[in-house]
């Protein structure tokens, strides 16, 4: 697979071909995902829960994000690497620039921030400094204590209007990618059509430009025993992890995943 860039993702959106993204935290899984044709590897702060055994993403440090980014880089074979900036590591513009440099120098090609239009100045400044940005909207796990739990976002006219407005503002500020988590399927499809940049969904229906899952979830692994509604176990019926990755890529590309039951209504 040739190296995937921001331009590659833009071209996939324009062609109407779905983009595949999976989380990766180490070299071995990164290599396997690449060999299955996954275009984007997300070094997510979800590692706090699935790797470290924490009860949220909040304890993860930016140094840990940089460490795992380096691991993924060494296993990568042409995918675009996106790395989360961890909780409170982008509270000020100075922090945002310093910590983005840290993970980019560790091997990321793009950084991911959680939030809405209030982060537009940071997005603009990063883009001006050569750092592509993915904005994570909807259910933002770092804000779980403000949101009152892991709840679907964008239900109701006011929330829906705010999400649409934020998406457009962030695109105008220079965001290269949007990620919508736990957003009603119809709203996610509307936002995907309203912006020119690619939109990746998780629990956001089939109308987005691509999909992402936490790798442990899609392999049927869970510390808690709870499986989110938007997850499908791609290990079921497969004889290897590699085959499960390939099944995921095929299902996203042909539109069979996510199915209606993996999404949320308004």
246 is in an annotated binding site: no
- Give the residue numbers marked as catalytic: 181
**Which residues are CB-neighbours of 15 under 8 A, at least 6 positions away?**
none
Please compute Rg for the chain using Cα positions.
17
CA distances, 200 to each of 33, 183, 243 (Å): 17, 11, 23
H/E element holding 177?
strand 177-181
45 is in an annotated binding site: yes
Q: Which residues pair with 41 in a beta bridge?
A: 22, 81
114 is in an annotated binding site: yes
46 is in an annotated binding site: yes
- Closest Cα partner for 177 from 148, 198, 207? 198
Q: How many CB atoms lie within 10 A of CB 126?
A: 27
CA distances, 66 to each of 25, 60, 62, 131, 235 (Å): 11, 11, 6, 15, 29
- Closest Cα partner for 108 from 198, 178, 40, 191? 40
DSSP string, 140-151: -GGGHHHHTSS-
Binding site membership for Mg(2+): which residues? 45, 84, 114
Which residue positions form the known binding site? 45-46, 84, 112, 114
Which amino acids are annotated as binding site for 3-methyl-2-oxobutanoate, given as ranges?
45-46, 84, 112
């Amino acid at each position: 697979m040739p190296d995937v860039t921001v331009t590659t993702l833009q071209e996939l959106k324009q062609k109407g071909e779905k983009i595949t993204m999976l989380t990766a935290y180490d070299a071995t899984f990164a290599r396997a995902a690449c060999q299955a044709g996954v275009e984007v590897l997300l070094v997510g702060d979800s590692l706090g829960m699935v790797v470290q055994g924490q009860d949220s993403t909040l304890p993860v440090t930016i140094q840990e994000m940089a460490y795992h980014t380096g691991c993924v880089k060494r296993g990568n074979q042409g995918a675009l690497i996106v790395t989360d900036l961890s909780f409170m590591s982008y509270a000020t513009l100075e922090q945002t620039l310093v910590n983005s440099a840290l993970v980019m120098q560790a091997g990321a090609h793009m950084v991911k921030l959680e939030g809405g239009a209030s982060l537009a100045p940071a997005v603009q400044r990063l883009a001006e400094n050569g750092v592509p940005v993915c904005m994570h909207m909807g259910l933002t796990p770092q804000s779980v204590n403000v949101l009152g739990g892991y709840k679907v976002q964008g239900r109701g006219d006011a929330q829906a209007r705010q999400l649409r407005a934020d998406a457009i503002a962030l695109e105008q500020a220079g965001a290269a990618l949007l990620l919508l988590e736990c957003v009603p399927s119809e709203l996610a499809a509307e936002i995907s059509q309203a912006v020119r940049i690619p939109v990746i969904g998780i629990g956001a229906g089939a109308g987005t430009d691509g999909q992402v899952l936490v790798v442990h979830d899609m392999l049927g692994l869970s510390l808690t025993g709870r499986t989110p509604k938007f997850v499908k176990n791609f290990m079921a019926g497969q004889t290897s992890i590699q085959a499960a990755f390939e099944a995921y890529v095929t299902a996203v590309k042909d539109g069979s995943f996510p199915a209606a039951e993996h999404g949320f209504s308004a």
